[in-house]
Amino acid sequence: LLHESEGARREAARGLARLSARDLHRRLSPLASGPPVPARVGIWGVQALRDIDRHARKRLVKISEEGQGASRRTALEWARLLDLQGLERLLDDSFEQRVNEAIDAGVVYLRGRCVTAGSATPVTENEMLDLLTLVKCGIPANDPSILPRIQCLAGQTPGDQGGTYGAGLALMLLYECGPDTYREAMERHARFLVDHQMENGMWGYARTTTAGTAGERGDNSNTQFAILGLRAAAEAGIEVPGEVWERTARHFEASQGTYGGWGYASPSPATAPYGSMTCSGICSILVCRAQLARGGPELNPFALPHVRKGLDWLAGEFSVSANPQKKGPSWLYYYLYSLERTGALTGQDRFGNHDWYQEGAEYLLDRQAENGSWGGPSGRYDTCFALLFLRRATRPLYAVGSASPAE
């Protein structure tokens, strides 16, 4: 269970499933009462204990129905398994501690590369993502190291530093920093996005596109960041026309692939689907349909056939070590952040048989560099996306106890 090799941990989990309660107790209970569990504990070991616990609960129900003698046998087995639950809690505590330490190290790295607080240099898209990540990870918006940069962003003209991505990120960041404080700036960025939506419901990189433009090619990545930004604007009380949500929802519903996935650019179902863009399709439909249903009953994600079909694709192609159906390591960390967002908005802890957070976090914990960063083909974005995943940064579709969509 504690081996460095994933293969060895997986084999240990298989072995556990074959042991009797007596053997399990004999082999594992010393760990629960011994020294602290080493920092690296594999998901397969933790999951094996949970599987054993679920199996024992089923046996308790079944054997108890067989009579008094059987119940006594079950009581002995159950007592041993209860002892082992202390080990499972120990493993869970170790996992949570490692996640928190990884987030802390990543924040230190990000703060070290931010633009000097007093600089008058315009805030770029890259820095917006850095700042959003820092705020999501618990750095106060009024922290002296970042406040001047946030104020600088609030004074910028939308489109000066990035088109759609910049406006979407600015809205997400300013919402987290205080929608009342930065309302005027948020209104400008929201207006920019509304004015630059294409007739087909998409957005692209171009900064000169006007509302309703036909024939210009957008992409699903820019589109999802526009929708995430407009979601923040709507939750700040800024009016977003209903046709904006409707056009984008219809775009994703019409462009879903035969088997449930989405690709990058084309509004045609023929576009090759892959993981991050499938998450984009699922989340964009959910946000748009939830905004259109504001004031009514809460939206059930599984009542939307396109969302349900997309989730089936995601479960069937699930991975945390690759962007599904995308060749090579392309945009893996972007995909993991997209996966986190999909889990949060749908309220799902699992896709198929996969605990997406546990598996994704284990993958990231094993790959963090000594300086707190994560590195891959996507460069500086990767650390931000990794931290946003670990922090579970996306708010649920609805606030707890509310029928209104939450940012």
**Hey, where are the domains in the chain?**
6-98, 103-390
Please give the structure tokens belonging to residue 307. Answer: 């969302």
Between CA 280 and CA 284, with CA 282 as vertex, the angle to 5 degrees is 65
Q: How confident is the model at residue 403 (pLDDT cuts 50, 70, 90)?
A: very low
Window from 4-13, 362-371, 391-400 with minimum mean pLDDT: 4-13
Between CA 60 and CA 67, with CA 61 as vertex, the angle to 5 degrees is 85
* Average pLDDT value for the chain: 82
Helix (H) or strand (E) holding 100: helix 68-113
| Spatial CB neighbours of 182, under 8 Å, sequence gap ≥ 6 | 150, 154, 174, 175
What does the pLDDT read at residue 16?
A: 64
Please give the structure tokens belonging to residue 278. Answer: 């499938």
What does the pLDDT read at residue 296?
A: 83
Q: Is-contact 47 16, C-beta < 8 A?
A: no
High-pLDDT (> 90) share of the chain, %: 56
Q: What is the mean pLDDT of residues 29-51?
A: 54
What does the pLDDT read at residue 401?
A: 36
Q: How confident is the model at residue 91 (pLDDT cuts 50, 70, 90)?
A: low
pLDDT tens, 226-273? 999 999 999 999 999 999 999 999 999 999 999 999 999 866 666 789
What does the pLDDT read at residue 120?
A: 78
Q: What is the 3-state secondary structure (H, E, C) of 319-369?
A: CCCCCCCCCCCCCHHHHHHHHHHHHHHHCCCEECCEEHHHHHHHHHHCCCC
What does the pLDDT read at residue 407?
A: 43
What does the pLDDT read at residue 121?
A: 87
Q: What is the mean pLDDT of residues 107-120?
A: 80
Q: Is-contact 165 225, C-beta < 8 A?
A: yes
Residue 78 pLDDT > 60, yes or no?
A: no
Residue 379 pLDDT > 70, yes or no?
A: no
Q: Which of 405, 400, 404, 394 is nearest to 172 (CA)?
A: 394
Higher pLDDT, 231 or 45: 231
Quote the CA–CA distance of 149 and 136 in Å, as a whole number: 16
Q: How confident is the model at residue 40 (pLDDT cuts 50, 70, 90)?
A: very low
3.30.70.100, 3.20.20.70, 1.50.10.20, 3.30.413.10: CATH of 103-390? 1.50.10.20
pLDDT tens, 300-313? 999 999 999 999 99
What does the pLDDT read at residue 167?
A: 96
Q: What is the pTM of this model?
A: 0.78
Please give the structure tokens belonging to residue 154. Answer: 């609030």
pLDDT tens, 186-229? 999 999 999 999 999 999 986 555 554 445 679 999 999 999 99
Rounded alpha-carbon distances, angstroms, from residue 239 to 174, 235, 236, 242, 291? 16, 9, 9, 9, 11
Higher pLDDT, 213 or 366: 366
Q: What is the mean pLDDT of residues 149-161?
A: 90
What does the pLDDT read at residue 62?
A: 59
